[in-house]
Amino acid sequence: MTLDLLGFIALSIIAIVSAVMMIASRHAVYSALFLVLNFATIAVLYLLLNAPFIALVQITVYAGAIMVLFLFVIMLLGVERVEESPGLPYQGPVAIGLGFALVLLFGFALLPRGEGAMGQIAEGFGSPAAVGRLLFDRYLVPFEITSVLLLVAMVGAIYLAGVPSRKEAE
Amino acid sequence: MNVPTDYVIGLSAILFVLGVLGVLVRRNAIVIFMSVELMLNAGNLAFIAFARSFEALSGQVFAFFVIAVAAAEVAVGLALIVTIHRARQSIDVDEVRALHG
């Protein structure tokens, strides 16, 4: 039981418990905060997997922008006070059983491949310079398309938010 | 970190299944959306783990694109939820399942 494995197990427990609490919490703000904890834990896992740039992108974009957006909308709509309608009575246990079956299915599909231990890694793997070189070299077209995608999303969100038309003002 | 790749993929699978459970069991549209984000993160974790295992940086670049696309999707999805709430005064997916109106 090396220190690496102990650290990984501790992080996995935090990630899984925060995910379960996110799903089970009846209060939407608590769910969002548990999800922030989950994202931060996954970011630490990225750090340990030699991906420092992606770890900080995760914290900046996911925990810092997306979850803030979620909290804005939760508080804007005031839905944290809303009681959820009761679902089908047996839905909980059946869902947990089927979820367990899905995990077993993943296990059967992935484990025989047996990737095994991770080898040594080059210095500077996953550094911003290395990822940036790939982004602007091999993956330049997807990078530019992503920027167009973000523009489209911004236009769509503004339109859906309902810019009042001039006719209504008259 | 010298952890077998299988363990990290196992964690990714568990988180993915937890996301699926959240989508299936909850009826609050925002919590469903957050469970979808959990699923995306589980997929990202698998990408990063394999990038480390095969020493292929393309996995990290793809995870970067997944994060960017998720950000765009959240913007539009939350705008949709706000619009639906404005029209129906409810975001319970059991109550707003009719497409008309």
Q: What is the pLDDT of residue A170?
A: 47
Chain A contacts of B49, Cβ < 8 Å?
A: 49
Name the residue among B48, B91, B20, B41 with its Cα closest to residue A41: B41
- Mean pLDDT per segment of 10 residues, for chain A of length 170 residues? 89 96 91 96 94 95 94 85 68 86 85 68 84 93 96 92 60
Q: Is the four-CA dihedral A104, A107, A109, A112 of positive or negative sign?
A: negative
Q: Is the pLDDT of residue B1 over 80?
A: no
pTM: predicted TM-score of the whole model, two decimal places: 0.90
Q: What is the pLDDT of residue B23?
A: 92
Interface touch A16/B27, C-beta < 8 Å: no
In terms of DSSP H, where are the helices of chain A?
3-24, 28-48, 52-57, 67-77, 91-110, 128-137, 140-161, 166-169
Q: What's the gap in Å between the CA of B36 and the closest CA on chain A?
A: 11
Residue A37 CB contacts under 8 Å (≥ 6 apart), including other chains? A14, A18
Chain B contacts of A23, Cβ < 8 Å?
A: 18, 21-22, 25-26, 31, 35
Interface touch A146/B79, C-beta < 8 Å: no
| Reported ipTM | 0.93
- Chain A residue with the nearest C-alpha to that of B91: A79
Q: What is the pLDDT of residue A85?
A: 67
Interface touch B13/A31, C-beta < 8 Å: no
Q: What's the gap in Å between the CA of B46 and the closest CA on chain A?
A: 10
Q: What's the gap in Å between the CA of B49 and the closest CA on chain A?
A: 7
Number of helices and strands in chain B (H, E): 3, 0
pLDDT tens for each residue of B20-73: 999 988 888 999 999 999 999 999 999 999 999 888 999 999 999 999 999 999
Q: What is the pLDDT of residue B44?
A: 96
